[in-house]
Structure 1
Amino acid sequence: MSERMIKTVLICLLNAGFTCLSARAQVAAKTDHSTDPAAENMLVYQRSVGGWPKAVGKVITDQLYNKVLSDAEKSLIRADSMHNDATIDNKATSKELRYLATAYKHTQNPAYLKAVEKGVNYLLNAQYDNGGWAQYHPDHSLYRGQITYNDNAMVNVLNIMQDIAEGKNNFDQLPAAFRPKAENAVKKGISCILKTQVRVNGKLTVWAAQYDEHTLKPAKARAFELASLSAMESVGIAEFLMRIKNPGAEIKDALSAAMAWFERSKITDHDFVFIEDAKQPKGKDRIFIEKPGSVLWARFYDIDTNEPIFVGRDSLPKKTVAEIEQERRIGYAWYGNWASNLLQKKYPAWLKSL
């Protein structure tokens, strides 16, 4: 073989080699994606219906997502994916969707986007025709099927839907087909909010923490969560309504009435503080004290009298937090300054923006 022919063969071999390497690189680019440890665990714990639990046993999911799971553990968890515990309580499902959307932006790992799509579809499917969301889905046993504003459950979902509709906070990465679905979900959700704003003697006030999903009337959930007006949850609802662009008269009226209620229902010159008390279990208690300049709202107000109520596990409303058992006094948010920033800054700024 001549020297010229040898050179020609070598060049062909080299070109073939580069072609092969290029093909391998393209395959690697499609299959070798960066991963996020917490996101990987979220994929494992996602239920078959698309949502996530708030805890497994007595362990909250935040702790589980930071754990290093063996392959055997992952297999066992995935085998339990049919568990009927998917929920929007305690930020479950909404926090995973937000985290995974961010993780996808940073890693471009398609598994994360796929999980977000599945989770959003879960929320869309879970919405009632009247626009509300239950605390759990599809488990609607006991109070789990009630329309739930408690702990901002429904508002967390609506904020995600609004983000999708606006293409914000990394949800612009979803396929375009999700946007009109989210817009419709928001429209239905707002309708539910407006219908559930409590009227007392014909006058709009604020919202209860949970509602009967059929009658849209305020409802009791846990023993210490009676049908009542809820200050904390009403703040979240009001702030969501202020996100809506070009709001109509109904939204404006709903917000004006809510602000008026917050103003007349505030409690001044008092605070709710922890104290050391060796006589009590865990050596502490929580008491209502005078504190000049402080502004608070009670968590719950009686619908008819608008007086603060405090409820223990006996489900009997009391006039003071000191009257309920110590376990409930220290274990629940009975007072808070939830509406302060809303009244002083956010609502005035919103009015100016109209």
Structure 2
Amino acid sequence: MNKLKGLMVIICLYFLSACSSDSVVKENPTVPTVITESITINGSAITDGKPKQLTLNILPINVSTKAVSWTTSSAAATISSDGILTPKLNGTVTVTATATDGSGKVGELQVNISGVTTVYTSITRAESILIWQRNNGGWGKAVPDLNSYSAVQTEAQKATALSTKNSTDTTIDNGHVVTELRYLLADYKTSNNPNYLFAAEKAIDYLFQAQYSNGGWPQYYPDKSLYRHQITYNDNAIVNVMNLMWDIIKSKNNLELVNPKYKALADISFKKGIDIILKTQITSPSGKKSAWCAQHDEITLLPALARAYELPSVSGSESVGVIRTLMLVEQPSEAVKQAIKDAVDWFALAKIFDISTKQVPDATGPNGYDVVIYTTPGTTTWARFYDLNTNLPFFCGRDGVKKASLAEIEIERRAGYSWYGNWASTIIGSEYTAWKTKNGL
């Protein structure tokens, strides 16, 4: 038995020696990866409204992986992961196939679609919004009360809307464009009517097109008459757009319903918007940053005049929304942190104590009342406008002349505009505290 064990040990040692020698055959070298050089999509027009299989030619033929990511340019059609194009609306759609091997190669095909006869569920609000949407994707102020979209539009309204389809006075003022497209997405979610998604995406395209290269948005686009060309924070115009871009980036509040291509575009747009916010923050005569004007010149970036009573100033109202937009930034840069701190510090200094406004009946007022100031101990408020040099509140009527008190301007402007408010009460309190905690400050 011992001799047998010894023999087995000798045999094992022999094989171990043989395996470690140069006589062992080595493994084959790794096969090199071949990446995509070109992609061609094969297909033709859809004339019967039915789904169609698209095919690919990918070169070289020995490419390591032929996997692609399919997308379409709009809600006019959807496409499956294996290239089946399903039409939803008549029109034209661009189909894109992107290589997933990191080569960056893309193939595109424009497909004309006709023959779609599907009748989709309709919702009154969305149908009204479609009627008033301009050809450039935006909306004007023809429907000033956004709640009016919930009513069926009259024949006269339809005729007016049709005659103004090419008008260029489309605007982000008073919540327009952003509100309409949010309504459309909500109604699309309920009805699954692709017309609503298509119109919402057209509105998003309008917002991308309207943004200046420096990151700002004008109040109107493409109409740039009067003060409409200025970068506009007034009435939260840019803030509304930035919040929309943020929702696209984060795929929330129904913006997860839009084409995935918008996420990368919104990320770029949002970052440019943050950059222009930082650049337009006003520097006081002391050299310290304060807040923002309701509108800024798009070239010089300085505070600018809008209507006669909206003079260059530091805004105690619009600046609040701007700070909230900056607070959205995740992992904020030192520049963003400093901008928020400086603005909050300015609001703390701009507090006005122990006064409030009150409406009193007056038949000569624009709404049957006047607005007066009265003493209310223990209250804190802010003025709409602060002087750029003195940081003192001021008021202005349609004559464009600064006044030191609200009582000095005409009743039409005194009672027809918001001159005081508690706009910053939470932003410099609980919101700022929460933001600092979140960012470890």
TM-score norm. by structure 2 comes to 0.71
Give the secondary-structure state (helix, strand or coil) at the position aligned to 1:145.
coil
Q: 235, 239, 242: which one pairs with 1:155?
A: 239
Write the distance in 2 (CA, Å) between the matches of 1:324 and 1:80: 37
Paired-residue identity, %: 47
- Of Structure 1 and Structure 2, which has the larger fraction of its residues in helix? 1
Partners of 1:53 and 1:61 within 8 A in 2: no
- 1:336 — aligned with what? 421
Q: Name the stretch that deviates more: 28-37 or 228-237.
A: 28-37
Say whether 1:236 aligns with 2:321: yes
Provide the secondary structure at the position in 2 that maps to 1:340: coil
Task: Tell me how far apart the structure 1 counterparts of residues 192 and 280 of structure 2 sit (CA, whole Å).
Answer: 41
What RMSD over aligned residues (CA atoms) do the two structures have, in Å?
2.0
Question: 186, 208, 211: which one pairs with 1:124?
Answer: 208
Paired residues, number: 326
Matches within 5 A, 1:1-354: 31-54=118-141, 56=142, 60-62=144-146, 64-70=148-154, 73-74=157-158, 76-200=160-284, 201-277=286-362, 283-354=368-439
Change in 2 beyond 3 A, CA 1:39/1:138: same
Moved over 6 A (4+): 26-30
Distance 2:330 2:387 in 1: 33
Q: Residue deviations 1:24-76, cap 9 Å, x none?
A: xx99998232221111100110011111112x2xx524254133225675355
| Structure-2 change in CA distance of 1:317 and 1:106 (3 Å) | same
Show structure 2 runs of 5+ residues with no match: 1-85, 89-115
Q: Deviations over 1:303-325 (max 9, x none)?
A: 10000010000100001000000
Counterparts of 1:175 and 1:316 in 2: how far apart (Å)? 49
More strand by share: 2
Amino acid at match of 1:205: S
Instruction: Note the C-alpha offset of 1:169.
Output: 0.6
Task: Give the direction of change, closer, same or farther, for the CA distance of 1:270–1:32 in structure 2 (3 Å limit).
Answer: same
> Matches of 1:157 and 1:288 in 2, distance apart?
34
Deviates further, 324-333 or 282-291 = 282-291
Inter-partner Cα distance in structure 2 for 1:74 and 1:314: 38
Which digits, 9 at most, give the CA deviation of each residue in 1:199-231, with x for residues without a partner?
112111000110111111110000000000001
1:97-117 per-position Cα deviation (integer Å, ceiling 9, x unaligned)? 111111111111100100111
Report the CA distance shift for 1:109/1:277 in structure 2 as closer, same or farther (over 3 A): same
Per-residue deviation, residues 291-341 of structure 1 (Å, max 9, x unmatched): 012110000000100000100001000010000000000000000000001
Q: 1:76 to 1:232 in 2, by over 3 A?
A: closer
> Structure 1 unaligned runs (5+)?
1-25
Give CA-to-partner distance per residue, 1:1-24, whole Å, 9 cap, x none.
xxxxxxxxxxxxxxxxxxxxxxxx
Q: Residue 73 and residue 298 in structure 1: after superposition, are their counterparts in 2 closer, same or farther (change >3 A)?
A: closer
State the Cα distance separating 1:271 from its structure 2 match. 0.4
3-state SS, counterpart of residue 378 of structure 2: strand
Q: 1:336 to 1:112 in 2, by over 3 A?
A: same
1:3 corresponds in structure 2 to none
Relative to structure 1, is the Cα distance of residues 279 and 165 closer, same or farther in structure 2, using a 3 angstrom cutoff?
closer
